[in-house]
């Protein structure tokens, strides 16, 4: 079937199979390989992308469900005008990744949180991010990075 998805601001007309997941379509049809797949069962959060601004696990989200909606992936965060997104810079500055496999999903999940909240605190941040697993860092550097980015983005960070 033919559907249209707006991927990182660009409308894309795509020929898909009904059973294809958003992860498969983004990786295999759109060649957006920044999206990674790990657990396949919507537990690890590695495949997180934003659909109309909300985080979804692309590994179990049918591409069909994303028709006529806006999908954002890690590739959409960097723009020629602005360079790295504040979250991306903060992840580098705070050593908030090691192997980097969870990083695209982690950053997209954090972006959804920051986009929705003008004022953030540790508890809400941890609750929001709890659905994304990182096996390398022990999480603390990620929390620091999201808070650093929040400040850069003009959010209020309650310690």
Partner 1 sequence: MKRPGDFQTVNHSVPRLDGSVKVTGRAVFTGDVMLADMVHAKVLRSPYAHARILSVNTAAASERPGVIGVLTGADLEGLDPYYGHAVKDHPLLAMDKVRFVGEPVAAVIAIDELTAFEALEDIDVQYEELTPVMNVDLALDSDAIRIHEQVYAAGKFREFEDPQASRLSNICQEIHFEWGDVEAAFAKARYVVEGTFDYPKVYAYAMEPYTCVADVNDQGMIVYSCAQHPFIVRGDLASVFKVPLNQVRLIVPYIGGGYGSKSYTKIEPLTAACSWSVRRPVKLQLSVTEAMLTIRGDSAHVHIRTAVDENGKLVAREAKIYLDTGAYAENSPLVCRKAANRIVGPYRIPNVRVSGYAVYTNTVPASSLRGFGTAQVSFPGESQMDELAEKLRLDPVEFRLKNLAHRGECTHPKTSTASGAGKKERGALRPLDADILADVRLLEEVLRVGEPAPPKTGRAVGCSASDAGSKPVSSAIVHVYTDNSVSVLSGTTELGQGAHTVLAQIAAEEMGVELDKVRVIASDTGIVPFERSTGASRSTTVMGRVVLDACQDAIQQMVKMAAELWDTRPEKLAIVGGGVSFGKNHLSWGEVLEKHSEMAGFNIVGRAYLRQHGDLAQLPVFWEIGCVGLEISVDEETGKIRVEKLATVGDVGLAINPAMAEGQDLGAATMGLGVGLFEEMRYDGQELVNGSLLDYRLPRFSDMPGDIQLILAERQDGVGPYGAKGGGEGALNPIPACVANALYRASGVRIRELPLTPERVWRAIQEARRDQPES
- 61 or 91, CB closer to partner 1? 91
Smallest distance, partner 1 to C-beta of residue 100, A: 3
Q: Give contact residues for partner 1 (rule: CB under 8 A).
A: 32-41, 43-44, 46, 73-75, 77-78, 84, 87-89, 91-93, 95, 97-104, 107, 126-127, 129-130, 132-143
Cβ proximity to partner 1: between 62 and 75 the closer is 75
At closest approach, how far in Å is the CB of 25 from partner 1? 13
Q: What are φ and ψ of residue 79, in 5° steps?
A: -120, 150
CB of 26 to partner 1, least distance (A): 11
State the greatest distance between any 2 C-alpha atoms of the chain, in Å, as a whole number.
49
Interior/surface letters 6-27, b for 16+ CB within 10 angstroms, e for the rest: ebbeeeeebebeeebbbbbbbb
């Amino acid at each position: 079937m033919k559907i249209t998805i707006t991927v990182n601001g660009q409308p894309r007309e795509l020929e898909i199979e009904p059973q294809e997941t958003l992860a498969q379509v983004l990786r295999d049809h759109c060649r957006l390989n920044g999206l990674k797949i790990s657990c396949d069962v919507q537990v690890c959060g590695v495949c997180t992308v934003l659909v109309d601004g909300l985080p979804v696990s692309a590994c179990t989200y049918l591409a069909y469900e994303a028709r006529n909606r806006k999908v954002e992936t890690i590739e959409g965060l960097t723009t020629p005008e602005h360079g790295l997104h504040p979250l991306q810079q903060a992840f580098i500055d705070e050593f908030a990744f090691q192997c980097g496999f969870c990083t695209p999903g982690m950053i997209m999940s954090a972006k959804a949180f920051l986009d929705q909240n003008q004022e953030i605190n540790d508890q809400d941040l941890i609750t929001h991010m709890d659905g994304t697993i990182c096996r390398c860092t022990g999480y603390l550097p990620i929390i620091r990075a999201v808070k650093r980015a929040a400040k850069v983005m003009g959010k209020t960070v309650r310690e």
